[in-house]
Amino acid sequence: MDAPGARICKAFFLTASPVPMILPPVSHSWLPWWTSVATRPLRPWWPHTWWRMEASPAHPPTVYLTFDDGPTAIATEALLRILRHYDARATFFLIGHHVQAHPQRVRRIVEAGHAVGNHTFTHVDAWQTARSTVIRELEDTARVIRAHTGGPVPLLRPPYGHLTPALCRWAGRHGARVVMWDVMPADFQRGASPTSVARFTTAHVRSGSIVVLHDNPMTEPVTLQALEAILRWGTARGWRFEALPTPTTGP
Ligand SMILES: [Zn+2]
């Protein structure tokens, strides 16, 4: 069975295609390219979104790793351990009902210097769900995260990458940012291996890149090894791994 994040890209990147096309069979070899490169022309059309951060020549090259779908019982701890070993920071997009199940993990993430964001309460698909339900899921999730962090939750990522104008407007009204990505190595995809995920990431990452990985027991065997390889590769080159900046306003 696919990991919970697995349908992300099949749906988003097939339907968000700027060009009607006959699609090849879904395989790990083309999906990361499609998700990371072919969607570039669409990005400027969506307000209040971040796809890649500004690279500053004054600073060492910086990469923003993000982990979706946590917090989880085991995977979160393993991720935190690896990140700590490399003195790396990241951003975790949390599911509201997972926050309720593992509140102590949220505190551990924040105490370790990472940022957290909103990934809806039940991993709801904004393309298949009433607008009011999606907004309520975002508000409920912001509330449960805020209960543990004490501050606003100004970053959000829609499950499956399914942007809608209403979601972007909601983010804009609250001073929040919708965080997408420019590198999606598809660690959730059947056929992904630690080597394929690490290779795709290191080949496509640039300073300011936002990389999507998953905090999910089903992707864990691939994600953890890939993460080690990515961090080893980056730190050997003097790259920094940082949490996304968090606006001071937000829901
Ligand atoms: Zn997700």
Active site residue 68: yes
Mean pLDDT, the chain, whole residue set: 87
Q: Is the pLDDT of residue 2 over 60?
A: no
Distance from Cα 237 to the centre of ligand 1, integer Å: 30
pLDDT tens digits, residue range 155-186? 999 999 999 999 999 999 999 999 999 999 99
33-55 mean pLDDT: 83
pLDDT tens digits, residue range 101-135? 999 999 999 999 999 999 999 999 999 999 999 99
Active site residue 214: yes
Q: Can you give the pLDDT at residue 223?
A: 97
Distance from Cα 67 to the centre of ligand 1, integer Å: 9
Q: Can you give the pLDDT at residue 190?
A: 86
Predicted TM-score (pTM) of this structure:
0.87
Per-residue pLDDT band at 75 (split at 50, 70, 90):
very high
Distance from Cα 158 to the centre of ligand 1, integer Å: 8
Q: Can you give the pLDDT at residue 29?
A: 63
Ordered domains of the chain (ranges, CATH)? 4-241 (3.20.20.370)
Please pick, among 114, 123, 214, 215, the residue that the annotation labels catalytic.
Answer: 214
φ/ψ of 221, rounded to 5, equals -60, -35
What is the separation of C-alpha 210 from the centre of its chain, rounded to a whole number of angstroms?
Answer: 8
Please pick, among 28, 68, 69, 162, the residue that the annotation labels catalytic.
Answer: 68
